[in-house]
A = this chain, B = another copy of it.
Amino acid sequence: MTAFNAIVGQSGGPTAAINATLSGVIRGCLDSDRIGTLYGARNGVEGILRGDTIDLSARFSDHEAQLTLLEHTPAAALGSCRKKLPALDDAAGQSTYETLFSFFSEKRIRYFFYIGGNDSMDTVAKLSAYARAHGKDLICVGVPKTIDNDLEGTDHTPGFGSAAKYIAASTSEVLRDCAVYTVKAVTIIEIMGRDAGWLTCAAALPRLSGKGEPDYVYLPEFCFDTERFLSDVNAALQKHPNVVVAVSEGIRDHNGRYIGEGTQSGVKDAFGHAYLAGTGKALELLVRERIGCKARSIEVNLLQRCAAHLASKTDLDDSVRVGLSAVAAALEGKTEIMMGYIRTGTGFETRAFDVSAIANRIKTVPEAFVNETHNGVTDACLDYLKPLIAGEAYPEYENGLPKQFTF
């Protein structure tokens, strides 16, 4: 039996665990005699389109230490992209598919692995559908990755646990920092999440320690009323001088207008998402103007998605595992799928999900995870989050700094 080749790419925003998943795919391919060469696409499908790939089988053969280093390195080692493939019925876009499939054919590639979020699953769905429609032997397997945790089907997404752990630990530290003064002050922590507030929920995890948590948590799933917010903050200030609030960047008012809209540029990414910044800053200014006390905002920003120094061990281990499972599923001939997790009594098992049911959809935080007044999260939410941040996966250090893999 002649071995076919495989290719893997990374797409969308970086995470602390996306390279762990890449490592899982590499390990799975290296271990199989049915896969010849595993290629790595630089910058996702963009790399395939410009013929920019790297021979990962050669690079990692017998390099266990390098794979371990890769697993602890944040962001996308192969580079990423935000390229959206043309619609299948877009005549002008056919040349894109022809370029991709002629590359696959030339390199004898039968297995296509794509690590990314819901936009990247759109790429997997389209390539699968194109292959099916044109009788191409390409097995397409998506592997999830997003700190946003907003993919349908899977219990959670690789990368989310580490970002959540970073948010939770950083919030617990900020709570301590804010508690030292006696002067009334409101601190607003702005957390990533355009449409789903999963990461912002993680700011409430310090409740598990019994030593405080943010006074309020506001998610983009629920309409944000500034008057209600001011009244919440005033009520908290009656109780203690140091009020801490966690908000998703994507909170919107009853007209659907982003709270941070006035303080941002209106730039949109390739998928048409508004580029947000300034939600925390807008609330800080509001508190200063309307309540008149000291106010500040902390935008956790990129730090939350690349903090490999505080990765969740559960997340990193499971991210490797889901990469391995993607290769196993591909070798069983499964295509048009995204691998993911189901929750069992003791942990998580990998499972294949229909990719077309995931692409371009968003899984939001359910009502049961939020209190009745929509300004805090329930214990059920923390029960869901707790196992995802379990364990520490420290990188190796050299010169006082985490060691990182580079090609």
- Residues in B with CB closer than 8 Å to A172 are 401-402, 404
Is the pair A174, B306 in contact by a Cβ cutoff of 8 Å? yes
- Residues in B with CB closer than 8 Å to A299 are 298-299, 301
Q: Which of the 9-residue segments A26-34, A245-253, A336-344, A391-399 touches chain B?
A: A391-399
Query: A173-B308, A173-B309, A181-B43 in contact; A277/B296 too (CB < 8 A)?
Result: yes
The reply on A220 being an interface residue by CB < 8 A is no
Is the pair B288, A265 in contact by a Cβ cutoff of 8 Å? yes
Q: Which of A263-309 contact B (CB under 8 A)?
A: 265, 267, 277, 288, 294, 296, 298-303, 305-309
* Closest chain B CB from A272 CB (angstroms): 16
Is the pair A302, B392 in contact by a Cβ cutoff of 8 Å? no
Whole-angstrom distance between the alpha carbons of A267 and B296 in the complex?
A: 12
Q: Which of A14, A169, A177 has the most CB of B within 10 A?
A: A177
Whole-angstrom distance between the alpha carbons of A79 and B259 in the complex?
A: 33
The reply on A206 being an interface residue by CB < 8 A is yes
Chain A: interface residue total (CB-CB under 8 A): 66
Whole-angstrom distance between the alpha carbons of A81 and B241 in the complex?
A: 13
Q: Which of the 9-residue segments A70-78, A101-109, A136-144, A351-359 touches chain B?
A: A70-78
- Residues in B with CB closer than 8 Å to A179 are 75, 79
Query: A75-B180, A180-B75, A301-B298 in contact; A173/B307 too (CB < 8 A)?
Result: yes
Chain B residue at smallest Cβ distance from A169 = B309
User: C-beta contact mask, A373-404 vs B, less than 8 Å → 1, else 0?
Assistant: 00000000000001001111010011111111
* Closest chain B CB from A45 CB (angstroms): 12
Selected from B74, B178, B277, B296, the residue in CB contact (under 8 A) with A173 is B74
A contact face: mostly helix, strand, loop, or mixed: mixed
The reply on A182 being an interface residue by CB < 8 A is yes
* Closest chain B CB from A114 CB (angstroms): 15
- Residues in B with CB closer than 8 Å to A14 are 176-177, 180
Known: A79-B179, A298-B301. 19 other contacts (CB 8 A): A74-B176, A75-B180, A76-B180, A169-B309, A170-B303, A174-B306, A177-B305, A187-B302, A205-B400, A206-B401, A209-B398, A211-B404, A296-B301, A296-B302, A298-B302, A300-B303, A310-B310, A386-B400, A391-B400
- 21 CB contacts below 8 A, A to B, read A14-B177, A74-B173, A79-B182, A81-B181, A82-B181, A168-B400, A169-B309, A170-B307, A172-B402, A173-B402, A176-B404, A177-B305, A178-B302, A208-B399, A209-B399, A209-B403, A267-B294, A386-B400, A389-B400, A389-B401, A390-B399
Residues of A bordering B, CB below 8 Å: 10, 14, 43, 46, 73-76, 79-82, 165, 168-170, 172-174, 176-182, 187, 205-206, 208-209, 211, 265, 267, 277, 288, 294, 296, 298-303, 305-310, 312, 386, 389-392, 394, 397-404, 406
